[in-house]
Structure 1
């Protein structure tokens, strides 16, 4: 692609983005239209991407033989191991030209070895629509002067720069939105909010959930009056509980968490795949208080991330419990296995299921907000558990970190802990197995036996409430976890500056997921 055509591509895409209303971008499409879009992406990638051409040849697949969506579904899935890491970076791009992209991000994943992900300006515009959904539908930022404070790490890591660019594109579209980038410098974030926040009608903090909570708690300790800034939060990078959302909402003075929060489901591989909406949050909060309904729909004793997605932008499939997606990007991906477990639910099927349980999410939202209600789009849902090995097995029961998280977010416990922990199954000297939870204490909190017992009791209570396997498989005398308390930044369990791992296996290998959202 020459300079002139690349420039024309950028101009056309930017004109379309700026001139097209969000509602038009999110118009309902039928399944056939979405499937044909995925099929056309395959034809384009097979014709222009050298690595995919080689991959198909190795599999003995003639692209011309793929004539229907049923044929498409038989294509072998690609992943980092069998595709991204096997071919030169340029060959993964269209026409084998890395120069067709204008930016490269890096992700370390759970192995620590960086993977590079090139993209072009037009790829970011596509993702900017996900941010527009949040800023328009949740935050009403088209009518409110808004300060967006980027709290993701800046540099080669995808979250900070990608988020910054997408927010600036919204300003170009006419949103009264101003962006500032303190990154993950906590002192600078607090300075920015206090010195600039009063000049705006609302302040949006965008970052990693535990870090944003740390910023908020540090601000409270130093006298920051969060409610005066009408704080909104955009999060990515980690699953959190609805108890966490409620706790943080209380601390910033939020009266309506469905409209004051939004979490992104994204990856370095392909940007944002889906996003929370007021509707999806309302639904998830129902499931949080009805674990039996959640188990009936999702099939597991833990609450997944629940977002809506645009099948014209990122087309999802489920294969053997794994999520596959297809989408255009600097490295276009066809039936890409992101190594997350989960599923997809159509808009109509979700509302029908909820009706069977006596819940009307749209009516609930109407009760929670006065005036112009937004965030109701007939888009499908994708739910994400993350990687299936992000668990420990105890007496045949799968124990999920999400279950433990809720136990640490109960009243009376939250003031002692940061929210980080390490879950593992260990053996005592007599080879009896026990459930171990090492918990990180907040700064200035001293450990004692009373705290250990209170935390253990809280975790046990939530395990019994949320996890039916645990309640039925684990003998009562083995159910109470053994809690150890460690200081913040403990070198063995909570080293500073590295990605936290919530579980450890018996063989002492640590497991993490880098695909819940932006790393």
Structure 2
């Protein structure tokens, strides 16, 4: 019932009301962190910021420092980052992947876990109707990441795709729908291995939620092809993207059925793409966020012309997030995540979809949006930049090719090359076990890649055991796509 009440409240709220509610909560969240978090109190004192001077949103933007993972977790013990400066009872901890070289942490207690379960069920009900359908959630996320749920059955297999398939084969028919939660490479393997393990995806109603890195729209199309998903009938299957961070929240940005359809429309219609995202060959992720839960800013930074063109004409900035939950154990304020994001007010999206004559694509809740470009570093070549996003779109544009590779690749710069200067990189792509490369297969990938970037690369399809950047896949760790 609580989830339904939240939904009704959102349906009645205007975009301005939601934004204003978030701004009110922001000033309260800042005052609480300045008062209760020892490390943050010390940080403000070192930078000469008086909490009493922060009375308005303009004061906040002008005076409050931006922090990042290194400044927060690299320099302080976890206890000093918590509200009250102590662990308390029944604490639950989890970590980030450590991909950046610095681990961040999430912290909850029993009361927070209960609130997190309500939030998770609310989001899942919005897209999948979990409160009205008998649902099995299969959690394939790595590193012990938990999905707090109460209203559905839960299977936790981590990255063991064989275990997940065994559960689905045994119990899938007992549920009206199944939701898979996994990072993209695990989800790819899970879906591809299903038929050989006796799982017929076409006979089940299966949804999937993925994230943790930039998700190419062609990746979604490839999985939908394997699963028999028709995007015109989301009740029979949806593949959604969620963006969360261990230290902030399980979900900061999330897709709805409508934003998925808008992104797919932009993928196939260059006029729509340019109106939404500017001049870009890569369609970014388009997701909504709840301004009452997280205050989102973007910090503009100078970019060279090649980077700016790669990101599109709409300027993007570094994502900065403030946690507004008054009960948060780890109330981070103006925390820079490292992601490139463009924010879009709901009114702007509304005007654009009306311009396209596609009012049916307008999300029901008037929440602001994030256009997510990801953290993908670009390698500059004489012809232009190449990024992991370009390669992902190319790999999954050809379904047969996608089925022959693991999805792991690395863009390698030549020894001795200097950062930012044009070079001729090598693109190494890992084939699946039992697959062999050929010049014809490489030519197909090169042809697809040319649709997304003018960059020329030395392309090499490596046999599974010959892939030089980690012989075995480790789904517990994020893939380093640029070396």
TM-score by length of 1: 0.80
Q: Where in structure 2 are the equivalents of 1:301-380 lying within 5 Å?
A: 301=280, 302-320=282-300, 321-327=317-323, 328=325, 329-356=328-355, 358-360=356-358, 362-364=359-361, 376-380=364-368
2: CA distance, partners of 1:428 / 1:268: 36
Q: Paired residue for 1:201, among 170, 173, 176?
A: 176
Q: Paired residue for 2:255, among 276, 287, 292?
A: 276
Shift of 1:425: 4.1
Structure 2 unmatched ranges of 5 or more: 301-316
Residues paired across the two proteins, number: 448
Match of 2:84 in 1: 95
1: CA distance, partners of 2:245 / 2:82: 18
SS at match of 2:214: coil
SS at match of 1:462: coil
The answer to whether 1:434 aligns with 2:424 is yes
2: CA distance, partners of 1:424 / 1:110: 18
Q: Where in structure 2 are the equivalents of 1:81-480 lying within 5 Å?
A: 81-99=70-88, 102-155=91-144, 160-161=145-146, 163=147, 165=148, 167-168=149-150, 171=151, 177-256=152-231, 259=234, 260-271=238-249, 272-291=251-270, 293-299=272-278, 301=280, 302-320=282-300, 321-327=317-323, 328=325, 329-356=328-355, 358-360=356-358, 362-364=359-361, 376-387=364-375, 390-395=377-382, 397-411=384-398, 412-426=400-414, 433-463=423-453, 470=454, 479-480=455-456
SS at match of 2:464: coil
1: CA distance, partners of 2:274 / 2:76: 41
Shift of 1:113: 4.3
CA pair 499-347 structure 1, distance change in 2 beyond 3 A: same
SS at match of 2:58: helix
The answer to whether 1:22 aligns with 2:7 is yes
TM-score by length of 2: 0.85
SS at match of 2:450: helix
Q: Where in structure 2 are the equivalents of 1:487-498 lying within 5 Å?
A: 487-488=463-464, 490=466, 492-495=468-471, 496-497=473-474, 498=477
Shift of 1:62: 0.9
SS at match of 2:435: coil
2: CA distance, partners of 1:140 / 1:18: 11
Shift of 1:377: 1.1
2: CA distance, partners of 1:105 / 1:178: 22
CA pair 83-364 structure 1, distance change in 2 beyond 3 A: closer
2: CA distance, partners of 1:136 / 1:18: 8
Shift of 1:58: 0.4
2: CA distance, partners of 1:291 / 1:109: 37
CA pair 244-311 structure 1, distance change in 2 beyond 3 A: same
1: CA distance, partners of 2:407 / 2:291: 34
SS at match of 1:198: helix
CA pair 432-42 structure 1, distance change in 2 beyond 3 A: closer
Post-superposition CA distance 1:195-240 (Å, at most 9, x none): 0000111111111122111111111234421121211101121222
CA pair 214-56 structure 1, distance change in 2 beyond 3 A: same
Post-superposition CA distance 1:402-455 (Å, at most 9, x none): 1121111123322322222212344899x9943421111122211122212222
CA pair 190-59 structure 1, distance change in 2 beyond 3 A: same
2: CA distance, partners of 1:341 / 1:410: 24
Structure 1 unmatched ranges of 5 or more: 1-15, 172-176, 366-374, 464-469, 471-478, 505-519
Post-superposition CA distance 1:267-311 (Å, at most 9, x none): 011122121111111111122123454345434633222211110
CA pair 231-314 structure 1, distance change in 2 beyond 3 A: same
1: CA distance, partners of 2:183 / 2:465: 17
SS at match of 1:39: helix
SS at match of 1:503: coil
SS at match of 2:129: coil
